[in-house]
Amino acid sequence: MTVEDYDELMHWYPPQWRERYGDEMAALLEDTYATAGEVPLRQRVSLARSGLGERARSAGIMGWTQDPDVRVNSGWFLVLCA
28-71 confidence digits (pLDDT tens): 888 888 887 788 899 999 999 999 888 888 776 665 655 666 66
Structural domain for 40, as ranges: 3-81
User: How high is the pLDDT of residue 45?
Assistant: 92
Tally the domains of the chain: 1
User: How high is the pLDDT of residue 62?
Assistant: 64
**Cα separation values, 27 from 5, 48, 66, 69, Å:** 11, 18, 30, 36
pTM, rounded to two decimals: 0.65
